[in-house]
Amino acid sequence: MIKKDIKKYNVCLTYGTFDMFHFGHLSILLRCKEKCNKLIVGVATDDYNKNKQKESIQSQQQRFNFIKNLHFVDKVIYEHNFNIQWANDYKKYRAEAIFIGDDHKGELDYLIEDGINLIYLDRTKGISTSDIKKKIKQKNIFFLIQNKLDQTEELFQNIKKINLNKDNFLVLAINKKIETSFQLYQFWNSNKKIDFIFLFNNTQEVNQMKKRINLLKINNLIN
């Protein structure tokens, strides 16, 4: 008989911007899901980010859709603020824990005093969206596009073949019609060459991302 996986919690929450989805994002979300049956992810809105003087490369809708597409995420909501919303969401969804990366350690302890089971998880070292934005400026960008589901194996082979040295950077664009598969995340777990992944609906969106990356590069030249 197959033993059913017993998770520590039923419903859990976690929040973030998740701009230019990188391995640190994947890792923390997988670790959250290991601990609960139902994982709800709050994606920061563009307005909320603006209030924090943070500007993302991808719109809130693109970031939301990416998280929604992850097979192990059960529900996605928008995060408009944290001070009121987190406590409200905790009650509303009958959550048993809120997970957050330990870059915020200590800052949010007042939530613990309010009875929220706030759990800090280790951040993946040496990677962040801010870091990607900086790195992109100095590196050669490889753009791989996956348009069809049956290209998955071929794609993995191509990634393995790419000789990524410290001057190169790999962006993977996946057609939204393809459910980002379990296989892809297993592959990413064992092969860290991909720097970030995004979903696209049409070629216009791929071009838009290329343009944004180029703008980051040009701005660096001007500065």
Residue 43: what residue type?
V
Select 124 or 151, whichever has its Cβ closest to ligand CTP.
Answer: 124
Point out which residues bind ligand CTP (CB under 6 A).
16-18, 24-25, 28, 100-101, 103, 123-124, 127-130
Residues recognised as catalytic:
52, 54
Q: Which residue, judged by CB position, is nearest to ligand CTP in the bound state?
A: 101
Radius of gyration for the alpha carbons in the chain, expressed in angstroms and rounded = 18
Select 24 or 172, whichever has its Cβ closest to ligand CTP.
Answer: 24
In whole angstroms, the minimum distance from the beta carbon of 22 to ligand CTP comes to 6
In whole angstroms, the minimum distance from the beta carbon of 82 to ligand CTP comes to 12
Q: Report the 10 Å Cβ neighbour count for 48.
A: 20
Select 175 or 180, whichever has its Cβ closest to ligand CTP.
Answer: 180
| Residue the block writes with tokens 């290329």 | 210
CA dist., res. 125 & res. 26, Å (int) = 13
User: What are the residues whose beta carbons fall under 8 Å from the beta carbon of 59, sequence distance 6 or more?
Assistant: 46
In whole angstroms, the minimum distance from the beta carbon of 105 to ligand CTP comes to 10
Tokens, residue 53? 């003087």
Residue 186: what residue type?
Q
